[in-house]
Chains A and B, each alone.
Chain A
Amino acid sequence: MSILPLIGFTTPWLLAALAVLPIIWLVLRAVPPAPIRRMFPGIVLLLNARDDDQVTEKTPWWLLLLRVLALGAAIIGFAGPVLNPEGRNEAAGSGPLLVVMDGGWASAADWTDRLEGVATYLDGADLDQRPVAFLQLTDPHEPVFQPANAVSLSIRGLLPHPWRPGDMSDVITLLPDENFDTVWVSDSLSFDGRGDLLDALDAKGDVSIIEPDNSVYVLRPGAYENNVLTLTAERMNEGPETVLQLQGHGPDPSGRATILMNAELAFEEGATEARIELSLPSELRARIERFAVQGVRSAGAVTLPDDALRRREVALISAREEREGLQLLSPLHFLSKTLEPSADLLTGSLSDLIPANPDVIVLADVAQLGAVEVAELQEWVERGGLLLRFAGPRLAASDVSRDEEDPLLPVRLRSGGRTVGGAMSWGQPKGLAPFPDTSPFFGLTIPDDVFVTSQVIAQPDPTLADRVIASLADGTPLATRKMLGQGQVVLFHVTANAEWSNLPLSGLFVQMLERLSVSSLMERPAAEELEGTVWKALEILDGYGNIEPADTLPGVSGPDLVSKDLGPDLRPGLYQGQSRILARNVIETDTVLTKAQWPTGTRLRVFERPQETVLMGYVLAGAIILFALDILASLWVSGRLSARVMRKVSAGMIVLGVLTGLPQPSSAQETDLDIEQAIAATSEVVLAHILTSNQRVDELAQAGMRGLGETVFFRTSVEPEPPHGVDLETDELAFYPLLYWPIDPAQPTPSDRAYAKLNDYLRSGGMILFDTRDADVTRFGSNTANQRKLRELAAPLDIPPLEPVPQDHVLTRTFYLLQEFPGRHQGREIWVEAAPANAELAEGMPFRNLNDNVTPVVIGGNDWAAAWATNERGLPMVQIGRGFAGERQREVAHRFGVNLVMHVLTGNYKSDQVHVPALLERLGQ
């Protein structure tokens, strides 16, 4: 490949100017450097002197060369050189052209590159006037030959699909009859029928395959065993050692989507598989909604865990054990055996377990509950809990739900229950009737050898029929269910052990519990087990691995969900059945991926081409550097470059260098400044105000803090330094005990980082005085722009409950005894952290024993800064009120400021009861 095609010019005709260079050479050669005129009194001594050396009559050749080079570079630069210019004809040829793309998830990672590549082909085809048709194998439509530019418009919006190409025989029938050449952009993964399609295309004309050499990365679903979650990633091409980041996304405790875990997936050199074992707390594991490989935008690199990863918490409660050691008779024995592999079991007393908020509470033969327990349990069920109750001798003997339906039992019960098929009764033990289709157990096969010998009997009731979910062959209810709030109460009318029936011994019992999602399956259910169920898509993945809502998609039948291939009708995502959630991932545990192998003789191309680079800037910069050198050289030749000039020039160069390329010195300076400011802020008490974007507000706040500082300095032993303006984004807040935050409707909302800093500040004992500065226009319940802004600004802050300053708040007596807190305005509503609910007025004490710490916020609108503000000479800047009353108001405002600073610095010191007698004396009580 010659070098020439690599460089193109945007305006090549400018290069003709290069012909002028020789002329310029001649002209420059004839002009020697101009002499300098110098005043010099000593000239008389030289009147007879003669030069004995006359070399500089002509410009030296190297200077000429420098100039011509600089000029040449400028000409070439302006001609617009471009490295690897685009628009080279990739698709030379004639006749129709078919562009085929696999378009599955495997190509999502570099989808835009592919589209751009296809677009260059289309451009080439456009130049050759070839008709072009387009075919995406994951979403085949009949290809229609059109002008290339029409096709290139239509492919711009194409998206990769989150599935692989489907049935190729359909696609082959779609192919046009005429002959055409084919460009096939492959995903580099093999799929069924690919060979057939290739043959069919070969028969029509030339086929060139384009296969980007990017490796395809996929992530297999996690497997959970022995508290270890194993995730496997694979890549198609063996490559060098690579480390990818595995991320687990999910909601944080406050419900915001965030990254819950990060782990490294390390591919060793030459390995195609990377495995990572995670042992996550079950709490965290349950919250992870999707695992993804960071940086690989493909549905294949995302896996959605379903309930399989989630272990439900089941609380088991039975009546008091009467005898030790009889494990097999324990009402909970079979339950715990059944649930242990798939659920976390909790045991203990009911009042301890309800606050732990388990998913399921099992009451095995518990009849009587205390009134408090009933209320708590009912509340828990209504919030979505599943209460599973088993009958037993105690329940049968009790009067629970006898006359009136107990809220925690689905039905009313007859006294005593019945026994069938025993030694003392008629009849045979009863088998189970088939489950009705309204039952959650619908579809389960009933083994022949399950019999019930005893049960509690439900009272016939109008609602009974709806509540029965399983019944015996004679129609008596075996399991009943009642919805309660968002939760449900299920009663098995038999015991949880083998005393009344052998149901707990059968596999059906396990399946029934699974259907009730008491236990969760580790294994994906077989298609037969899901017979008759319909699953609704909760969220689906697009080709890039992004989650999309799935509101509009129709339901999917259970067998299809687990056995059908992914396609337009079955998208990868999470599907919700009656009581559990199943995930269909792009890559399942057993998905086989093979690299596409193309028959020998196929024209295989790599899709990569060098990026077009505009060289104009570099060449022109070179020209400028040459010109600068020329200036120095000319100065040197003509003797104007004395040592002094040299020093200046080099200083200038250094300055230029610093300005253009080297950020280090400035950042070093910045940290120096930071450190200086930090030292200034911490060596003395420094009041601070938060910088809004409004200069006037900031100036007034600065003046206000200065005035307050002066007042505090004169009246108390606190001697603050001049105040600082604090930028929330860049400055450290921890140095300042008190931040004054004037609210301006136009100020920008701080970033998340700034909020994190603010919350840290508030939690660690700092105080922010919010001032909406509009108490003159606000009334109770009104809503000014400043208040709305304050609400917006303060929403993400960690602010405790507030109340208007109570009469006995510490703020009223930290230094001065105050009952109102005016600023420029005299609004009454000042809000501080609410007193704890149990604060009580002790006998003989004037004050309640209130908060034990500093209130983190004081919120008001009295525009205190204006009242405090003084100029440099200590004179007030803002007129407050009228006449003496106004001055009095300013004085009280200053006193409030002093109290505030004192409160921040001394906390609840004045709340200490030690001072009460003295205070009482002063109050005259």
Chain B
Amino acid sequence: MNAETASNVLNLRRDAQEEASKLPALLARAEQLANTMMLGEHGRRRAGQGDNFWQYRPMQPGDSYRSIDWRRSARGDEQFVREKEWQIAQSVLLWLDPGQSMRYSSHANWPQKAERARVLVLALAILLQKGGERVGLTGFSLPPQRGAAQVLRLAEAFCVEDNADYAEPEARGMIPHARAVFVSDFMGNLDAVRAALAKATDRGVHGVLLQVLDPSEEEFPFEGRTIFQSMGGGIENETLKASSLKSQYLDALAKRKEELSNLAQLSGWRYQCHHTSESAQSALLWLYSALDGGQG
């Protein structure tokens, strides 16, 4: 083993440890956020496979004798069948924008967009997992599974970052009739989003779009001669008077939000914009109710 390989291994190990060190903190924060909501296993509100009692109904032709509840039937002359509530687990597919554009924060007091998004999604995953759902990633890397270990795997997966300036949504490996959560700043190509939604809708997958923005992206508080750069440095734009671009920018942003909203409406998804300066809890509440609401 030569020295270079050794140093590579060392670097790798160091990076890995560094990355791993983020995990507990992320998990802790996500747990904390998730604990703010009280949940139980949700029934399907109809008879079916499950553990909980749903109703007694008179025996009908076709019911097997085994299904007769003898205790109830012994009280009278009729035979009753004991029905249980139908309980199934839902699969929820998550997609978190791994692009560099998410690693932006305009003020030391506000977290990076990526950080906020990660916490939100992981907290959601924890909630869902506690609710007995199966949670996984879109694509093929981490299919939905139950269990606490899945949360750990998810956290690990969220810490992997992409080098692309703007990432495109992953819509492969969609399980039919599953639910999906897309969290991104949606600054990249909208066509990819459109395509992903179309693909999802084809498979009967519904879900939510959560746009996470930094307050400065909402306000454009820049002045003077400025060269704007994307986070990866891939795109540059020079202006001699940044303040004159403000109205143009705000128009473009409003237009994009409207497009996203329309897109969601068309495909039966739900759209929400969240700012990193706001509290994460409200966003989580919205996310959870948006998902739950679709289950009724």
**Which A residues are closer than 8 A to B by beta carbons?**
32-47, 49, 51-57, 637-640, 642
B242 in contact (CB, < 8 A): yes
With both chains docked as a complex, state the minimum distance between the C-beta of A875 and any C-beta of chain B, in angstroms: 42
Tell whether, in the assembled complex, residue A46 and residue B187 are in contact, meaning their CB atoms are under 8 Å apart.
no
Tell whether, in the assembled complex, residue A54 and residue B237 are in contact, meaning their CB atoms are under 8 Å apart.
no
Tell whether, in the assembled complex, residue B217 and residue A42 are in contact, meaning their CB atoms are under 8 Å apart.
yes
Tell whether, in the assembled complex, residue B231 and residue A39 are in contact, meaning their CB atoms are under 8 Å apart.
yes
Tell whether, in the assembled complex, residue B217 and residue A642 are in contact, meaning their CB atoms are under 8 Å apart.
no
Q: Which of B216, B230, B241, B245 contacts A44 (CB 8 A)?
A: B230
Hey, what's the 0/1 contact readout for B219-251 against A, CB within 8 Å counting as 1? 011111111111100011111111111001100
Tell whether, in the assembled complex, residue B229 and residue A37 are in contact, meaning their CB atoms are under 8 Å apart.
yes
Q: Which of B220, B236, B240 contacts A56 (CB 8 A)?
A: B240
Tell whether, in the assembled complex, residue B185 and residue A46 are in contact, meaning their CB atoms are under 8 Å apart.
no
Further contacts, 8 of them, CB under 8 A, given A46-B252, A51-B241? A35-B225, A38-B229, A40-B229, A41-B104, A43-B235, A44-B188, A44-B230, A638-B225
Q: Which of A39, A42, A640 contacts B224 (CB 8 A)?
A: A640
Cβ contacts under 8 Å, A49 to chain B: 237, 239, 245, 248-249, 252
Which residues in chain B, 116-156, are within 8 Å of chain A measured between CB atoms? none
Cβ contacts under 8 Å, B187 to chain A: 41-42, 44-45
A845 to B104, CA, bound (A): 92
B253 in contact (CB, < 8 A): yes
Which residues in chain B, 155-181, are within 8 Å of chain A measured between CB atoms? 166
Tell whether, in the assembled complex, residue A51 and residue B221 are in contact, meaning their CB atoms are under 8 Å apart.
no
With both chains docked as a complex, state the minimum distance between the C-beta of A761 and any C-beta of chain B, in angstroms: 55
B211 in contact (CB, < 8 A): no
With both chains docked as a complex, state the minimum distance between the C-beta of A635 and any C-beta of chain B, in angstroms: 9
B101 in contact (CB, < 8 A): yes
User: Which chain A residue lies CB-closest to B233?
Assistant: A39
Cβ contacts under 8 Å, B102 to chain A: 41
User: Which chain A residue lies CB-closest to B244?
Assistant: A53
Tell whether, in the assembled complex, residue B252 and residue A41 are in contact, meaning their CB atoms are under 8 Å apart.
no
Q: Which of A32, A33, A41, A51 contacts B239 (CB 8 A)?
A: A51
Most chain A CB within a 10 A radius of its CB, from B223, B228, B238: B228
User: Which chain B residue lies CB-closest to A33?
Assistant: B225
B256 in contact (CB, < 8 A): yes
Q: Which of B101, B226, B236 contacts A41 (CB 8 A)?
A: B101
A54 to B226, CA, bound (A): 12
A49 to B252, CA, bound (A): 10
Task: Give the size category of B's interface with A.
Answer: 35 or more
A38 to B226, CA, bound (A): 7
With both chains docked as a complex, state the minimum distance between the C-beta of B100 and any C-beta of chain A, in angstroms: 8
Cβ contacts under 8 Å, B188 to chain A: 44
Tell whether, in the assembled complex, residue A639 and residue B237 are in contact, meaning their CB atoms are under 8 Å apart.
no
Tell whether, in the assembled complex, residue A51 and residue B244 are in contact, meaning their CB atoms are under 8 Å apart.
yes
User: Which chain A residue lies CB-closest to B255?
Assistant: A45
With both chains docked as a complex, state the minimum distance between the C-beta of A342 and any C-beta of chain B, in angstroms: 92
Cβ contacts under 8 Å, A51 to chain B: 239-241, 244-245
Tell whether, in the assembled complex, residue A38 and residue B227 are in contact, meaning their CB atoms are under 8 Å apart.
yes
A637 to B243, CA, bound (A): 12
Tell whether, in the assembled complex, residue A46 and residue B240 are in contact, meaning their CB atoms are under 8 Å apart.
no
Q: Which of A35, A47, A57 contacts B235 (CB 8 A)?
A: A47
A39 to B229, CA, bound (A): 5
Tell whether, in the assembled complex, residue B224 and residue A37 are in contact, meaning their CB atoms are under 8 Å apart.
no
Most chain A CB within a 10 A radius of its CB, from B216, B217, B227, B243: B227
A53 to B101, CA, bound (A): 28
With both chains docked as a complex, state the minimum distance between the C-beta of A84 and any C-beta of chain B, in angstroms: 47
A58 to B239, CA, bound (A): 14
23 CB contacts below 8 A, A to B, read A33-B224, A34-B225, A35-B240, A37-B229, A38-B226, A38-B228, A40-B217, A41-B101, A41-B102, A41-B104, A42-B220, A42-B253, A46-B228, A46-B237, A46-B252, A51-B239, A55-B240, A55-B241, A639-B224, A639-B225, A639-B242, A640-B224, A642-B223
A640 to B225, CA, bound (A): 9
Tell whether, in the assembled complex, residue B245 and residue A46 are in contact, meaning their CB atoms are under 8 Å apart.
yes
Cβ contacts under 8 Å, A34 to chain B: 225
A383 to B217, CA, bound (A): 103
Tell whether, in the assembled complex, residue A56 and residue B217 are in contact, meaning their CB atoms are under 8 Å apart.
no
A46 to B245, CA, bound (A): 8
A277 to B132, CA, bound (A): 109
Most chain B CB within a 10 A radius of its CB, from A44, A638, A640: A44
A737 to B242, CA, bound (A): 71
Tell whether, in the assembled complex, residue B252 and residue A32 are in contact, meaning their CB atoms are under 8 Å apart.
no
Cβ contacts under 8 Å, A39 to chain B: 104, 229-231
Known contacts A36-B225, A39-B104, A640-B224; is-contact A47 B237 (Cβ 8 Å): yes
With both chains docked as a complex, state the minimum distance between the C-beta of A170 and any C-beta of chain B, in angstroms: 87
Known contacts A45-B252, A642-B221; is-contact A40 B244 (Cβ 8 Å): no
With both chains docked as a complex, state the minimum distance between the C-beta of A421 and any C-beta of chain B, in angstroms: 124
Hey, what's the 0/1 contact readout for B241-283 against A, CB within 8 Å counting as 1? 1111100110011001000000000000000000000000000
With both chains docked as a complex, state the minimum distance between the C-beta of B74 and any C-beta of chain A, in angstroms: 70
A42 to B217, CA, bound (A): 6
Cβ contacts under 8 Å, A55 to chain B: 240-241
Which residues in chain B, 199-230, are within 8 Å of chain A measured between CB atoms? 214, 216-217, 220-230
Known contacts A39-B231, A54-B240; is-contact A46 B226 (Cβ 8 Å): no
Known contacts A44-B188, A46-B248; is-contact A56 B241 (Cβ 8 Å): yes
Tell whether, in the assembled complex, residue B249 and residue A41 are in contact, meaning their CB atoms are under 8 Å apart.
no
User: Which chain B residue lies CB-closest to A52?
Assistant: B244
A226 to B223, CA, bound (A): 89
Tell whether, in the assembled complex, residue B245 and residue A43 are in contact, meaning their CB atoms are under 8 Å apart.
no
Q: Which of B229, B237, B240 contacts A57 (CB 8 A)?
A: B240
A32 to B216, CA, bound (A): 27
With both chains docked as a complex, state the minimum distance between the C-beta of B242 and any C-beta of chain A, in angstroms: 6
A37 to B242, CA, bound (A): 12
User: Which chain A residue lies CB-closest to B251?
Assistant: A45
A592 to B227, CA, bound (A): 90
Tell whether, in the assembled complex, residue A36 and residue B252 are in contact, meaning their CB atoms are under 8 Å apart.
no
Cβ contacts under 8 Å, B226 to chain A: 35-38, 639
Per CB-CB distance, the 5 closest pairs between chain A and chain B, nearest first, are A639-B224, A639-B223, A41-B101, A45-B252, A35-B225
